[in-house]
Structure 1
């Protein structure tokens, strides 16, 4: 039986993840600047304590460290986390990181100013129960008034079209020529879909092919907003790429302030 879990997918992809970018170094800088702009917009000048709870190989986390933030990384994939720490060290950056499930984050309450969950990671959670557990844990480890940043594909449109594939992306990058594309197989519910992620690399006079499989839940913006609000987040706003410089949609949300928490607790007496 083939393993389509998110952990196995990213364990297998970790060594080649940088190949999905024309210039991974430039992408780290660009994405961190976009996220930092939102952090400053919401919280004011930094630096901030940041948890990247789906850090992967460090694409956002390393860039945020370079901007002065104190970042901790976690990811379901221990292989990806190991590479993130190594890549940070190679750039003389400190990135404490560990393998952890975002549904059971191993941190004390109110430990971070900001939580980042980027690269369409949250939609790997395939049930309402899993999504509620993750968002509840994110709120738990955020300080009162803290900021949540989630980035996803533009699923409102995707759910309408139910696309079956992504166009081949041909990159002549410093890491070597790479062709990447995906095939999508939609479930009967019209919300979940399986992907087959292909990477082709030159191999002599032929090509070597890597194939990885996993599943996503195509949550619309309204659906994800509802889950965030139910978890106790406030001030939920969706930001389009043209307004942030980030390549995906970004949801910003705030944990209740101390006053709001006290008021809510009092209402339950």
Structure 2
């Protein structure tokens, strides 16, 4: 199956990723508050050792570190991971990062209380085999009773309607407004689609158009649930945006090691 390079997509997008948000710092704080509340339910309050295995430029990782958690970030894109570390330092915190594929995490087993994989990162893996490999790695690095947190786009309706675009987003910058929008091109299997990600930047008396391309697997809630269960997680629960305030559905699950 032909697909665009995910690393190239995020390497190219990393300098401009914050422009997806109207106010990136405010979004970091809101998302961290939601995730922190989910952490507190498993099994209570307190600081956690957290791996954000798709940290990007740090949207969740920085917010969680500012909330008091001990966060490590990893991302397929070394450019994005490097920016996450730099942005964290600018805010007075340390965020160790690694450039790593979530299917082969460079961390010791049982080293984290929580693993976060947010921002629809998991659907960049285009086969069940690759998704299972990533989930097994997340399970490996979690301690016993550790918590998995995934956020995935609500694809059930998209699979039925096959939208061809996503709503535009507008961000204000010192140079003027930046407009971000996407065009979707569905594969013949009806499950996967290519994205053309456009950003239109003001440039003197004209505009500069920046285009990046990537591919997603539009995983339904049932598919994600089944893959998470197959990887050995239990207590699988979906949390809707209405109940959490998070912009995507959130799945939580626990890793319970088998008795010897």
Q: Is the 8 A contact 1:56 1:81 kept in 2?
A: yes
Q: Is the 8 A contact 2:50 2:69 kept in 1?
A: yes
SS at match of 1:43: coil
Confirm or deny that 1:180 pairs with 2:146. no
Over aligned residue pairs, what C-alpha RMSD do you find? Answer: 1.3
Matches within 5 A, 1:1-269: 4-173=4-173, 176-256=176-256, 258=257, 261-262=258-259, 265=260
Query: What's the CA shift for 1:107?
Result: 1.0
Instruction: Work out the CA distance in 2 between the residues paired with 1:117 and 1:239.
Output: 15
| Cα distance change on mapping 1:4 and 1:177 into 2, 3 Å | same
Query: What's the CA shift for 1:171?
Result: 2.6
Q: Is the 8 A contact 1:23 1:174 kept in 2?
A: no
SS at match of 2:103: helix
| Cα distance change on mapping 1:175 and 1:241 into 2, 3 Å | farther
Query: What's the CA shift for 1:129?
Result: 1.0
Stretches of structure 1 that go unaligned for 5 or more consecutive residues are: none
Instruction: Work out the CA distance in 2 between the residues paired with 1:67 and 1:43.
Output: 17
TM-score (norm 2): 0.97
Instruction: Work out the CA distance in 2 between the residues paired with 1:176 and 1:224.
Output: 40
Stretches of structure 2 that go unaligned for 5 or more consecutive residues are: none
Instruction: Work out the CA distance in 2 between the residues paired with 1:116 and 1:61.
Output: 9
TM-score (norm 1): 0.94
SS at match of 1:102: coil
Q: Give 1 or 2: higher helix fraction.
A: 1
SS at match of 1:22: coil
Query: What's the CA shift for 1:173?
Result: 4.7
Instruction: Work out the CA distance in 1 between the residues paired with 2:162 and 2:192.
Output: 10
